[in-house]
Amino acid sequence: MSISFSGLGSGLPIDEWISTLVQAKQDSIDTLESEQSVLQTKSSTLSSLNSTYTSLQTALTKLIDSLNSPSSDIFSKVTVSSTEDGKDKPAVSATVTSLSTPSEFDITVQQLATQTKFTSDQMDGLKKSSTTMAELGITQNGSFSINGKEISFTTGTTVNELIYKIDNSGAGVNAYIKGGTLVLQNSAYGESEINVTADGAVTDDGQTFAQLFGYDDKSNQVLGANAEYTLNGEAKVSSSNNLTSEDTGIVGLNIKLNAVTSEPVTLSIARTYDESSAEAALEEFVNAFNKVITETDTQTASTGYLYGESNLTQIRDNLRMSVTDAVGNGGLYKTLAEIGITTGSVGASVDADTTQLVFDKDKFKEVFQSDPNAVKELLLGNQQAGTTGIMQKLKEKLEPALDSVSGYFSARKDSLNEEISRQAETIEKRYNELELYEAELQQQFNYMDQMIAQLNQQFSYMQSQLSFMFNTSS
């Protein structure tokens, strides 16, 4: 009977043994990586929720900023009216911005601003835009200048091409043909000359371009005029028919003079309540608030990634209570429900979701049109009385959570990042240990295999010796 030891070279499953032992430690690392993935998902979920809360803060700020300046007041708008409203072609038209000051003034237009025109001598060839310079009598290539800007031409340049060159020369004039003449017109209004100069003869009889066209004759030029008007009894002059706030003294007011007036035109600037802007801002607030509640409830539920975050739940509850609380001011309205923002319609099923706000726009329009000041006081308080509105109280509840240094979101994000970092260090350490462990196992099993191989060799030798001894004895 033969006896043998199986080794690496004779069938022992050393690789499988090593793989099984290594996998046992790998399983613990897999658990750590799974925990790290959960932490990373929790961190990204927190960042997304932070953005949702920030959107609510933005919606609140838009409402509250109405107290800071007229340009950010969403409860009112600035309008301008005129005694010429309704006319097809008003002599004076005006526009205003949200910064315009409520005021009233009279304006009378004595003269509109006009543009300087320089008309050439009449030539039959200027009746067609396809006429070339050669056909106008020019026999040499040349150039001329308008207001210091040089314009070149050839004998083959057409009138159309010449006009294009003039318009794009930067000279501040526009050119066009009219009744066999080439008219140069200042782009700007007012008393400003057009200067046309030319050196060098371009015709056989020695004329320059300016002489040929008659631009050397100043009588062909009609200077533009400044606008003349009276504003609240004060005579004024402008080089343009478009008057800016610098002309009127009213910020954000622009007036366009369209025609001379026979009697004063009265312009009235007023700040009026703006129902549509207020409604849009409140709708934005309601949507942002509902999204905060929905996403917070989803993520803090037992199946959410932020389950167990009691601080977050407390923030949510504080906001929820603040939005349904009554304000203790002396105003007409005490709660949002009185202006159409409720947690559900009257008579709704008890199964209805009362965590969400519902905006009744029809009711809001009714109360806003009835008393816009009372609505504004409910939302923003009364500065003179020293009271605060519901929107300020909501923002006060929200701001600590969103503080960039000590707020809940910032602090919790830092905490999670530290956990993720520590977890990553632990995982890296375990992988390094696993690599060393696998190397040690490989070394130990290789040594064992060598011992088994030696024992097999020795046993084989003993077998051969015993076999020889037994055969000899026989």
The two tokens of residue 148 are 């210091």
Report whether 215 contacts 120 (CB < 8 A).
yes
DSSP line for 366-428: HHHHH-HHHHHHHHH-BTTTTB--HHHHHHHHHHHHH-TTTSHHHHHHHHHHHHHHHHHHHHH
Radius of gyration of the chain (CA): 45
Q: Name 249's Cβ contacts closer than 8 Å, sequence gap at least 6.
A: none
Q: Where is pLDDT greater, at 312 or 332?
A: 312
Please give the single-letter amino acid code of residue 120: S
pLDDT beyond 50 at 350 = no
Place of tokens 């929720």: 49
Report whether 107 contacts 255 (CB < 8 A).
yes
Residue 13: predicted pLDDT: 73
**What value does the mean pLDDT take over residues 119-131?**
96
Residue 222: predicted pLDDT: 97
Long-range contacts of 125-130 (CB under 8 A, 24+ apart): 125/159, 126/159, 126/177, 126/180, 126/181, 126/182, 127/177, 127/179, 127/180, 128/159, 129/158, 129/159, 129/160, 129/163, 129/177, 130/158, 130/159, 130/160
User: Is residue 464 helix, strand or coil?
Assistant: helix
pLDDT beyond 80 at 18 = no
pLDDT beyond 80 at 353 = no
**What value does the mean pLDDT take over residues 332-344?**
90
Report whether 210 contacts 217 (CB < 8 A).
no
The two tokens of residue 233 are 């009894």
Question: What would the pLDDT profile of 207-261 be if each residue is shown by its tens digit?
Answer: 999 999 999 999 999 999 999 999 999 999 999 999 998 888 888 899 999 999 9
Q: What is the DSSP letter of 460?
A: H
**What value does the mean pLDDT take over residues 99-113?**
93
Please give the single-letter amino acid code of residue 18: I
pLDDT beyond 80 at 471 = no
Local confidence band at 443 (pLDDT 50, 70, 90 cut-offs):
confident
Residue 451: predicted pLDDT: 76
Q: Parallel, antiparallel, or unpaired: how do β-strands 117-119 and 181-186 relate?
A: antiparallel
**What value does the mean pLDDT take over residues 394-422?**
91
Local confidence band at 33 (pLDDT 50, 70, 90 cut-offs):
confident
Local confidence band at 59 (pLDDT 50, 70, 90 cut-offs):
very high
pLDDT beyond 60 at 341 = yes
- Asked which of 64-73, 174-183, 352-361, 416-425 is least confident by mean pLDDT, the reply is 352-361
Local confidence band at 348 (pLDDT 50, 70, 90 cut-offs):
very low
Residue 250: predicted pLDDT: 86
pLDDT beyond 80 at 329 = no
Residue 344: predicted pLDDT: 66
**What value does the mean pLDDT take over residues 414-419?**
90
Give the integer Cα–Cα distance in Å for 340 and 358: 8
**What value does the mean pLDDT take over residues 318-332?**
84
**Most confidently modeled range among 5-14, 94-103, 281-290:** 281-290
The two tokens of residue 78 are 């600035």
pTM, two decimal places: 0.65
Local confidence band at 101 (pLDDT 50, 70, 90 cut-offs):
confident
Q: Name 445's Cβ contacts closer than 8 Å, sequence gap at least 6.
A: 8, 14, 17, 18
Question: What would the pLDDT profile of 354-383 be if each residue is shown by its tens digit?
Answer: 689 999 999 999 999 999 999 999 999 887
Calculate the average pLDDT of the chain: 88
Handedness of CA 82, 83, 87, 90 (dihedral sign): negative
pLDDT beyond 60 at 7 = no
Percent of the chain with pLDDT over 90: 63
Local confidence band at 331 (pLDDT 50, 70, 90 cut-offs):
confident
Q: Where is pLDDT greater, at 162 or 417?
A: 162
- Asked which of 173-182, 195-204, 404-413, 461-470 is least confident by mean pLDDT, the reply is 461-470
Percentages helix, strand, coil for the chain (3-state, rounded to 5) are 50, 15, 35
Percent of the chain with pLDDT over 70: 94
Local confidence band at 61 (pLDDT 50, 70, 90 cut-offs):
very high
Give the integer Cα–Cα distance in Å for 439 and 25: 14
Beta strand residue intervals within 22-83, DSSP E: 76-82
- Return the bridge partners of 382, or none: 387
